[in-house]
Structure 1
Amino acid sequence: MTDFPPPDFSGRIARSFSKQAAMRLIGAELTRIEHGTVEIELPFDAKLTQQHGFLHAGIISAALDTACGYAAYSVIDADASILTIEFKVNLMSPGRGERFLFRGEVTKPGSNIIVADGRGYAISDGPAKLIASMTGTMMVVRGREDIAG
């Protein structure tokens, strides 16, 4: 991770996120972009639940992966991109809430491999409740026109 943000990293992330059909499909919004940290929020939608009415683990994983990926994207050069090569999710509590917050933060920056940690929270009337955590490994991709932005 550079000591200073890459030029226009916030705009690059917002433009890239707007191209994510999967995030659009689930109703996710990009709500915070900082150097090394990205947050995504998602309203509850019964269409995204499993058989018990909880937010599906696949939706939680996708949102955490996206938040971690964009956190990594915020610390690389403008001519590079990011692909997830591995992640592990711990589901700690049922995904029950009115809204959900997914935060990705760079843990270990690097020129080729970046590690990011994510946390997912359910938000209702009381304090936010931690429902999931993720550790993801991202690969920096350079020189590939088919993998840009």
Structure 2
Amino acid sequence: MESNELFSIGQHALAAQSFSRLLGTKLMVFQPGEVVLELPVHEKLLQQNGFVHGGVLSYAADNALTFVGGSVLGPNVLTSEYKINYLRPAIGEKLVARGTVVYAGKLQAVCRCDVLVIKDGGEETLCATAQGTIVTIASEKSETGC
């Protein structure tokens, strides 16, 4: 599969996620073993101290992990488990989630994601890191025999 075709598939998958559309998430890189997602930070995503809410960081990590796992396993994947470490408060204008594949077999992939916040026009700060297991699932079509 060509890089442009894979990127198009990734864009279509992201557009099909209503929560991702609500947050304004954009797919910047989608190729085998690598994904970059970006999402703008605005007031409604902040917690009481003015930091990006941990749930938003967790969403970004989980989505990047699943996308990057899908880049090597195919489109029918789910997160089986993941762990996230919050390292610093996220204060800035944009979140960037960079996912990579650590190991991929036929049915599962172990993936890693760093979540950074961008502020002051380009300064990057690592604010969370995550690792997860992404697994293939049977499509509904094959489960029903149709």
The whole-number CA distance in structure 1 between the counterparts of 2:20 and 2:136 is: 21
Alignment of 1:1-149 (within 5 A): 8-77=5-74, 80-125=75-120, 127-145=123-141
Partner SS for 1:94:
coil
Structure 1, unmatched stretches of 5+, are none
Higher relative contact order (CA 8 A, sep 6+): 1
Per-residue CA deviation, residues 79-124 of structure 1 (Å, 9 max, x unaligned), is x511001000000000111111111111111111111100000111
CA contact (8 A) 1:114 1:138 kept: yes
The whole-number CA distance in structure 2 between the counterparts of 1:57 and 1:146 is: 37
- In the superposition, the TM-score normalised over structure 2's length comes to 0.88
Structure 2, unmatched stretches of 5+, are none
RMSD: 2.2
One-letter amino acid matched to 2:106:
S
Select the structure that is richer in helix.
2
One-letter amino acid matched to 1:95:
A
CA contact (8 A) 1:44 1:97 kept: yes
Deviation at 1:5?
6.9
The whole-number CA distance in structure 2 between the counterparts of 1:28 and 1:7 is: 19
- In the superposition, the TM-score normalised over structure 1's length comes to 0.87
Per-residue CA deviation, residues 40-73 of structure 1 (Å, 9 max, x unaligned), is 1111111011111111111111111111111111
Aligned residues: 142
